[in-house]
Structure 1
């Protein structure tokens, strides 16, 4: 029987990361977030976990100990804001993001887990944030953790979505940070999952899947959308001329637009035969592949690899926010499976990690992304 590892999820949102970790055999003890709807969603899908809803700065150490009820913690995970460290020394050391990250550190210091996982945007590994990474690595090194960071792409782990995120894994001495090997796409052995695969997984009785809630209210956009082929949208003048009749052209002077294009593609339909673009918190970013409407919340959740019976709480706007902020479940499961190897003390050879060479970051070396 495999050992069950306990974890705390800080800045948990609705629980995409923690739900995926549970699929890998981990046990969530506590979820922490300030968003009421997100925590209610978390409760519904993590029935054995304790929760805290509110400002993490108000969650005292004594309260955390009470919530943990004497359970040991093997892992602390979460998506704390990190970029605030870039403002230190630049006249803005009171950036609130610094305090939130340090609250994550406080919980790690209290819980003394064997490992930590930090999830963030890919920009965290950009050269301009090198000092931020050095600071983060230094803080955790002082606590006894060896850290490594990689950019992972969700479509390489069975998620029907192209979503790239920075994942930082830190382990105590005697354990090595291990990242999941791609299972799908060019670097894996399986075909990438597609939008069609995502939609097929939705059962008829799934909630938040009523197309009536996904209608386009703007008359002109509805008329234009009828002419947009699957997988296409309007970003350049050539797109407009290819897809729209003159009577529905946008009232813009293309030559006066920066770089001669819209900053964001308009009327962007997804393609059934490909992974989705990154699902964001706004429901109006993408359109159904062939129907003249937006995605339903359940369709967006399925693209994020939430199962059809994962329950959400809140308005459609709130649920889209929860979905867009979440870590894709299947990517989280892949991370969890790799973490099990880390926590068991397994050490990987350099050869097995060579596929990740271009994504690797070590704080005493140059960033190579």
Structure 2
């Protein structure tokens, strides 16, 4: 089965199909490092630096023939939870390159991937548009949100998958891959369809954890290829205070939060009286009686005094403003850094799946190794994305920061492998002789 890959990145989506003997005969991405990495790990140097909006891309399509599958994880920045959501982000329209490729190549199948935020943001407007544009090509289309943790990936990572078929038989016979591991939604996430089938999930093995994935790398110095984005001294002073399952977060008061005023050697000395002031604001800023700002409300001096049963004066608030512990909003005071409600310097739990691997997983400001005071290494991040160890990143000659970025943007191989296996089930015995 001959496959074409668009927006290929380093090849996470494609590698799961490669393992199922699909032959990727053409791949493109507008990122030079992505293409280098792809060609390092796939035979034939089939990847080229190419924008799907370029005339050269159209010329490439015209030279391709007998294509069975088109793959594409089109850019998702306009929908991603980890970045600013912009309805008019021009990258939201890049999926049209995949529409053009399907129209030109008329494959038997196509598989498209994106973040699950597409189903929620803008009232699902983009999901409906993309679904309709695929169907307008004459394809029968299904879509579903899957969580990679349910397919043997040691990471919570939800993605929406579109699968299209050019014949009704394949469409009717296709079954989404069944979960192979337990693992549910995290706080704040809606439950997925598979999670409601509790009886089946109870019979499955537990989700794979960070320990399962990288435990054997602790004593292996060869994999410690990581970056410090700031001075190691400052970073160490912070992360030494962050315990298992904790994060640096001033605005959510819980056992998982460490507050900046608890690290005075980095953020500046505070008195016991000032700590009372800061904690009073922190514990009450999200109460609806003080306003309806989603992330929290500034409090007046009089309110703080009433709540704390203290008699703070304006100069005490201003001093904390000068030292970046507080900020002023509409004449009232709120904790500085309230925008980081999800926290920084997160230290995941060793015996749980990883949080979603991001493009800056190398930076300890975002994630810290569960047991050691350092960022994750490139190979550790690759393991969390279920890349096999023979999939090379740094040996392809790309910078280490690019390696982290490519890994963070990739589809986990374990998830793509599961989708590929489901498509293989549709092949006739004669076709399976070539694929098996």
TM-score range, shorter chain: 0.7 to 0.9
State whether residues 226 and 378 of structure 2, in contact with CA within 8 Å, keep that contact through their aligned partners in structure 1: no
C-alpha contact (below 8 Å) 1:114/1:343 kept by paired residues = no
Q: Give 2:211's match in structure 1, choosing from 196, 199, 204.
A: 196
Give the direction of change, closer, same or farther, for the CA distance of 1:84–1:217 in structure 2 (3 Å limit): closer
Shift of 1:201: 6.0
Q: 2-side partners of 1:246 and 1:52: how far apart?
A: 49
1:222 Cα deviation after fit: 1.0
Aligned-partner Cα distance in 1 for 2:7–2:108: 19
The DSSP-based 3-state class of the residue aligned with 2:140 is strand
Inter-partner Cα distance in structure 2 for 1:201 and 1:308: 12
Q: CA deviation at 1:27?
A: 1.5
**1:180 aligned onto 2:258:** no
Aligned residue number for residue 351 of structure 2: 273
* TM-score, with structure 1 as normaliser: 0.79
Q: Secondary structure at the match of 1:307?
A: coil
TM-score, scaled to structure 2: 0.68
Please identify the structure whose Cα radius of gyration is greater.
2
- How is 1:1-369 mapped onto 2 (pairs within 5 angstroms)? 5-48=1-44, 50-58=46-54, 59-66=56-63, 68=64, 70=65, 72-81=66-75, 96-97=90-91, 99-126=93-120, 128-173=122-167, 174-176=169-171, 177-185=174-182, 187=201, 189-200=204-215, 209-210=223-224, 213=227, 217-235=231-249, 236-239=252-255, 247-248=264-265, 253=278, 255=281, 258-259=295-296, 262-282=340-360, 283-284=362-363, 285-312=366-393, 313=396, 314-344=398-428
Q: Is the 8 A contact 1:216 1:294 kept in 2?
A: no
1:97-138 per-residue CA deviation (whole Å, 9 max, x = no partner) reads: 365222211111111101111101111112734332232222
For the 8 Å contact 1:115–1:343, the answer to whether it is kept is no
**CA 1:143–1:246 in 2, change beyond 3 Å: closer, same or farther?**
closer
Structure 2 gap ranges (5+): 80-85, 184-200, 269-274, 286-294, 297-334, 430-436
Number of corresponding residues: 331
Deviation by residue 1:150-183 (Cα, 9 ceiling, x = unmatched): 1110110011110001111111222124311100
Deviations 1:304-349 (A, max 9, x none): 111122111411211111001000011110111112224559xxxx
Quote how far apart the aligned CAs of 1:266 are: 2.1
In 2, are the aligned partners of 1:227 and 1:244 still within 8 Å (CA)? no
State the shift of 1:31 in Å.
1.1
Shift of 1:143: 1.5
Partner of 1:367: none
- SS of 1:333's equivalent in the other structure is helix
Say if 2:211 and 2:351, in contact at 8 Å, map to a contact too.
yes
Shift of 1:233: 1.9
Matched residue SS, 1:135: helix
SS of 2:170's equivalent in the other structure is coil
Q: Using the alignment, how far apart are the partners of 1:151 and 1:216 within structure 2? A: 37
